[in-house]
Chain A
């Protein structure tokens, strides 16, 4: 009896230890992308064909001259009523009436957006993004001391891999449940880069790392997107602004449908995108 209860006890202890050692780290690993994808790609494709800074493939016929800087419209107002330079003695400033802020913004329910899932319009008249002046991202923070006047990196206009059409990236022969190839991942990444407007110049912007968890419909449109770190979203206004910019990216019409191979739904139906502007600083 004693032996058996000892046995039971020892057995369970060992079992618990084994379960702990094996399953916990393993469960955690679940979150990481399996490494083999990389290996597989290197053998298949040699080089990714997707350039990092993916230019929206310009449609020549719609080309419009793009102003790269917002026009300085300021003077419009400023010039309007220049106060006559009345040379006056120092005069007390007219005490400004304090506009009373209503503490509670009254949000009328009238304007409540319908809560239905944002079904991306089938064919959003893709006001084809004007061929954008390619930014040299390394010089996004300007520094005149850089000897060369920032020769904009040769940014290859991305060869149209047919990705803008709703065609699959790679052969339909890809086995179900297979991993995405690096080329396929790069296509999605490049698409998201085009849709993401990075909040530049924010304090410590390079540390603003936003994870967005997406559920994607079989037709490759977005079903749901949410910020993973909601706690930080609710307490940190910088993070909230960065997270909103990431949400706008995945909801952008430019990014719908997502450029993913239709036959690998199981692979991309749940996708976590990690938006991190570190390469832009």
Chain B
């Protein structure tokens, strides 16, 4: 028994020793819960080549990349005049101390060269100035004519590495180009790069076109056009120029939109004073009715996973936004604020639904979470409508209309973009007035 106690005591002593032999390794812990919301300072010296032609192309590419990054509001390119290290030597190896001195946090270098078959090879690297590490390095081969596109692709690569999200620079926007007097407006379908370049018209203006919507998977759009004074839904393939009628539907057709897989469209059809939501399978042309209410149900938009549909309805007495399953059935109202809500558009990122709101004679664009929380109004105008998401769900495009003329009888419409934080609103310049923009997926 004594032995037992002895062993027990020994065990206790050992326990104590274990305590004593592990002195607390002092470590300070600090919680940082705030920071700056500043655009990131980034330095992009001109891309250099071996010929004057390459140097020129490199300079133009840097202009496009800089414009893209600046316009996003998340970056601030530094003035090349402040650079200490010159372009040529930076391509060979950045002297990070010098870039740190001018407050650059990131550095982009690039070189151009010609391949044996006459193509241009563009190689770029993104550097973290503080850690002195390369973050991305990629080379692209292309025909010189494609330089602008490569600049967009490089912009996307930089954006993605630094923000963690896919970029949106290599994408396009279709919209309705408007001209002429208010009572005889000519409306044509037009398309441009997201930065306003490469603008061209897709229709000639003889028929009225409305509400273009991009397929999320292909370079295809749906839109409505009046044919013999009847609205019809068309699908237009931008790459081939082919156009087809989706079908003649009884009554009025409104607001067709693609499903996330691009195989169906969802739209509303109006009959006897009320309208309901339908899907149409583009392959089989099978039509399926999702709502059956004695009220107006319109402007449907799929969630990016295809499982739900957001739409507007006045079933509760006022115009509000609802969400239902993709097969129809019970719908949940998600907006409860003052005023009227319309035109919900689900973000490709899935976390927000953009909408238009009318309150006390003014229009707003806002965003709300699909569960109805976190509503924010991010822009306001005399008339602002038609929100459309950039392919990464970060930026919204829409159009604003304002009265013109001494008696305010005219209308001028312009396309704008804004960051989803509600900052950095910018006008997208178009040759004529523009309305109803629709953002493409990333180019393939």
Contact = CB atoms under 8 A, between A and B. Distances in A.
User: Do chains A and B interact in one complex?
Assistant: yes
Interface of A: 3-4, 6-8, 10-12, 14-15, 18-19, 22-23, 26-27, 30-33, 52-53, 69-79, 81-93, 95-97, 99-102, 105-107, 110-114, 118, 121, 124-125, 127, 132, 135, 137, 140-145, 177, 180, 185, 188-189, 192-204, 236-242, 244, 247-249, 251-253, 266-280
Nearest to B5: A7
A72 B37 CA distance: 17
Contacts, number: 354
A280 B198 CA distance: 39
A85 B36 contact: no
B31 A280 contact: no
Given A32-B29, A135-B36, A201 B7 contact: no
Nearest to B22: A27
B201 interface: yes
B94 interface: yes
A105 B26 contact: no
B205 A100 contact: no
Given A78-B195, A127-B102, A193 B34 contact: yes
Contacts of B138: 101-102, 105
A274 B198 contact: no
Nearest to A67: B76
A144 B378 contact: yes
Given A93-B239, A271-B29, A18 B15 contact: yes
Interface in B30-52: 30-40
Interface secondary structure of B, over-half rule: mixed
B365 to A, nearest CB: 9
Contact of B421 (A140, A241, A276): A140
A165 B149 CA distance: 48
A188 B30 contact: yes
A82 B67 CA distance: 16
B241 A93 contact: yes
Nearest to A31: B27
B324 interface: no
A74 B38 CA distance: 18
Contacts of B200: 83, 86, 88, 91
Contact of B153 (A19, A31, A99, A111): A99
Interface stretch (B140-148, B245-253, B312-320, B328-336): B140-148
B34 A77 contact: no
Contact of B239 (A92, A141, A203, A237): A92
A140 to B, nearest CB: 5
Contact of A118 (B73, B125, B130): B130
A53 B38 CA distance: 14
16 contacts: A3-B1, A74-B67, A75-B429, A78-B428, A78-B429, A81-B197, A96-B146, A105-B139, A118-B131, A144-B378, A194-B36, A198-B34, A199-B163, A247-B130, A252-B105, A267-B28
B70 A70 contact: yes
A186 B149 CA distance: 48
Interface in B350-399: 351, 364, 366, 375-380, 393-394
Interface string B2-23: 0111011011101100110010
A89 B204 contact: yes
Interface string B217-248: 00100000000000000001011111100000
A96 B30 contact: no
B163 to A, nearest CB: 5
A22 B18 CA distance: 10
A106 B423 contact: no
A274 B34 CA distance: 11
A86 B21 CA distance: 83
Contacts of A195: 35
A195 B5 CA distance: 60
A105 B204 CA distance: 44
Contact of A96 (B76, B102, B149): B149
B103 interface: yes
B34 A87 contact: no
Interface in B41-96: 63-64, 66-67, 70-71, 73-76, 92-94, 96
A34 to B, nearest CB: 8
Given A70-B76, A99-B146, A143-B376, A105 B34 contact: no
Contact of B35 (A7, A121, A277): A277
A217 B240 CA distance: 64
Nearest to A76: B67
A201 B420 contact: yes
A121 B97 contact: yes
A127 B103 contact: yes
The 7 lowest CB-CB distance pairs between A and B, nearest first, are: A142-B422, A7-B4, A15-B11, A241-B164, A92-B241, A196-B35, A11-B7
A142 B35 contact: no
Contacts of B192: 83
A31 B380 CA distance: 49
A69 B4 contact: no
A26 B35 CA distance: 34
